[in-house]
Amino acid sequence: MITVLFGGSRPEGNTAQLTKSAVEGLDYKWIDLTDYQFNPVRDFRHENRDITSYNDDYKQVIDQVLESDTVIFASPVYWYSVSASLKAFIDHWSETLIDDNYKDFKEKMAKKDFRLILVGGDCPKVKAKPCITQMKYTLDFIGAELNGYIIGTAERPGDISKDTFALERAKEWNETLA
């Protein structure tokens, strides 16, 4: 099962279009992270306190991720990083790491096929590199790895249709994920 964690602010925007071409015709679950509420992360690592519950939508989303074989992070490049909604979701992993209900969190995450789709308008093939490094370090911390990424170039609505290289890579992903 493929889960797409979509962090864009436009459900039919360039990032969504590129991502949908990568999963077209496949069995996938699309999670628009902007439809979910993620509260600020509670950092109890040094307070000898446990986390056993979440007062937002995080548990629902992380449980879906943990059931998946492939997870595709999809985000526009916002200020040289992934979107706030995607980052807020990932920040919650700090809580999961100390939640007794998820003792096997790292083990399960290490088995996932993680991929990343980024779309930006200001030289993204260069300026999105920090996003890729950020995701590689994040996944490395939990024992997982980033198995591929696509960077699309698009400034205005519909511009992604002009990025034939990114669309070709999405098509390749579609064939390998089938």
Confidence of residue 52 (pLDDT cuts 50, 70, 90): confident
Average pLDDT, the chain: 95
Give the mean model confidence (pLDDT) for residues 135-143.
Answer: 97
The string of DSSP codes covering 137-166 is: HHHHHTT--EEEEEEEE-SSTTGGGG-HHH
Chain position carrying tokens 């590199």:
129
Confidence of residue 46 (pLDDT cuts 50, 70, 90): confident
Q: What is the pTM of this model?
A: 0.95
Give the mean model confidence (pLDDT) for residues 82-99.
Answer: 95
Mean pLDDT lowest for which of 43-47, 110-114, 150-154? Answer: 43-47
pLDDT of residue 49: 78
pLDDT of residue 50: 78
Token pair in block for residue 149: 């990424």
Confidence of residue 51 (pLDDT cuts 50, 70, 90): confident
The string of DSSP codes covering 60-75 is: HHHHHHHH-SEEEEEE
Give the mean model confidence (pLDDT) for residues 6-18.
Answer: 95
